[in-house]
């Protein structure tokens, strides 16, 4: 069995900060409601000149720097995103050109907030089976451009940013022990962008008037409960597959959807909140990018150090969910 490892991490957050108090100025909401219901205080907003690939480029360059590899060393580039620069070509193709990864094949993965785990799973398998040698796995989003700023129950959740890792077969460094991914298409109508695809005329005056191009959350409190269960199942699955228990895990890096979801997950797993790495207060929900951003931050500030057992987990639209266990 090959030993596949993460040899570098990187992330990028746009400089502009939008606080809950800023949102109070144009929406019927309050810092108090947002913080107590979600754990979010502020989020980052991409500059209007930036596209998703611009955010991803910086994150990917930081990951390659940390790994000590050059763009020409990369032969696989997978981008997880639901906010690509364009739907055709794929966001990853733009990113490949910007990074000048001349020897890489690039493609996108769409798995909403679980996208990074899905991309990591595919890259890990492609290296294991010998198709590729060095992969850049990137997740990036500009969520604040696809939310409806008039829908207060949803727009307050999201932010922008990107994260990346370089993975390869290696005898040293963090070892990917497992990845598990799951979907339930029957739950697809709870977190979705109804317009912009072949189901409707992609863009029409009517679709724009109805706001079909915006991200929608239908009965978000129902997906809240599903999220708690799926996060917990994914964590249990990862540790069980490797002969561990949740108590053996040193750091859990979950997708940051809502602080209360993570508290529910911790309760279900009977694990202390101190084990759960949190970025939600300062960045909000950056869909696929929250996991690699939190991972990079935890690596750089020393929360994740050599020999630590690290559990990544995510849940999102699709429905999609998954996990990955890593021995750092």
With respect to ligand UT7, which residue has the nearer C-beta, 106 or 288? 288
| Residue choice 71, 254, 316, 318 for contact with ligand UT7 (CB under 6 A) | 316
- Residues 31-70 binding ligand UT7 (CB under 6 A) are 33-34, 37-38
Region from 29-37, 101-109, 124-132, 271-279 binding ligand UT7, contact rule CB under 6 A: 29-37
**Smallest gap from residue 146 Cβ to ligand UT7 (A):** 13
Active-site annotation holds for 113: yes
Closest CA to 116 of 89, 82, 148, 69: 82
**Smallest gap from residue 140 Cβ to ligand UT7 (A):** 15
**Smallest gap from residue 175 Cβ to ligand UT7 (A):** 28
Active-site annotation holds for 87: no
With binding defined as CB under 6 A, does residue 320 bind ligand UT7?
no
**Smallest gap from residue 285 Cβ to ligand UT7 (A):** 5
Closest CA to 289 of 279, 281, 299: 279
With binding defined as CB under 6 A, does residue 159 bind ligand UT7?
no
Q: Which residues contact 137 (CB under 8 A, 6 or more apart)?
A: 78, 80, 116, 119, 120, 123, 164, 165, 166, 167, 292
Chain-centroid distance of CA 272 in Å reads 23
CA 325/CA 170 separation, integer angstroms: 17
Closest CA to 224 of 301, 319, 145: 319
From the list 113, 121, 235, 258, the catalytic residue is 113
Reduce the DSSP state of residue 28 to 3 states and report it. coil
- Residues 102-121 binding ligand UT7 (CB under 6 A) are 113
Closest CA to 224 of 267, 271, 264: 264
CA 245/CA 8 separation, integer angstroms: 27
With binding defined as CB under 6 A, does residue 153 bind ligand UT7?
yes
Which H/E stretch holds residue 77? strand 76-80
CA 128/CA 126 separation, integer angstroms: 6
- Residues 209-248 binding ligand UT7 (CB under 6 A) are 220-221, 223-224, 227
**Smallest gap from residue 10 Cβ to ligand UT7 (A):** 22
From the list 20, 132, 258, 285, the catalytic residue is 285
From the list 56, 132, 255, 258, the catalytic residue is 255
With binding defined as CB under 6 A, does residue 140 bind ligand UT7?
no
First to last CA, the chain: 18
Query: Which residues are identified as catalytic?
Result: 113, 255, 285
The site for ligand UT7 (CB under 6 A) is made up of 29, 33-34, 37-38, 113, 152-153, 156, 191, 220-221, 223-224, 227, 257-258, 285, 315-316
């Amino acid at each position: 069995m090959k030993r596949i490892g993460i040899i570098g991490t990187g992330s990028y957050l746009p400089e502009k900060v939008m606080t809950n108090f800023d949102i109070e100025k144009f929406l019927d909401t309050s810092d108090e409601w947002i913080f107590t219901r979600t754990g979010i205080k502020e989020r980052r907003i991409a500059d209007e000149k930036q596209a998703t690939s611009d955010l991803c480029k910086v994150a990917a360059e930081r990951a390659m720097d940390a790994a000590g590899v050059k763009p020409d060393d990369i032969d696989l580039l997978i981008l997880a995103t639901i906010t690509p620069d364009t739907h055709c070509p794929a966001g990853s193709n733009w990113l490949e050109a910007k990074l000048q990864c001349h020897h890489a094949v690039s493609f996108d993965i769409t798995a909403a907030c679980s996208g990074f785990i899905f991309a990591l799973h595919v890259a890990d398998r492609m290296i294991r089976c010998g198709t590729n040698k060095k992969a850049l796995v990137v997740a990036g989003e500009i969520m604040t451009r696809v939310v409806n700023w008039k829908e207060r129950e949803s727009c307050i959740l999201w932010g922008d940013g990107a994260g990346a890792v370089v993975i390869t077969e290696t005898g040293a460094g963090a070892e990917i022990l497992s990845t598990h991914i799951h979907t339930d298409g029957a739950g697809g109508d709870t977190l979705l962008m109804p317009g912009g695809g072949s189901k409707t005329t992609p863009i029409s005056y009517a679709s724009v008037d109805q706001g079909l191009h915006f991200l929608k959350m239908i009965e978000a409190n129902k997906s809240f409960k599903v999220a708690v269960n799926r996060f917990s199942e994914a964590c249990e699955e990862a540790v069980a597959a490797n002969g561990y228990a949740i108590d053996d895990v040193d750091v859990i890096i979950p997708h940051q959807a809502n602080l209360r979801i993570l508290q529910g997950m911790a309760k279900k797993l009977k694990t202390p909140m101190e084990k759960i790495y949190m970025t939600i207060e300062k960045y909000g929900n950056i869909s696929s990018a929250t996991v690699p951003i939190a991972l990079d931050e935890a690596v750089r500030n020393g929360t994740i150090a050599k020999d630590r057992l690290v559990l990544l987990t995510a849940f999102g639209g699709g429905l999609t969910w998954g996990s990955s266990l890593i021995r750092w």
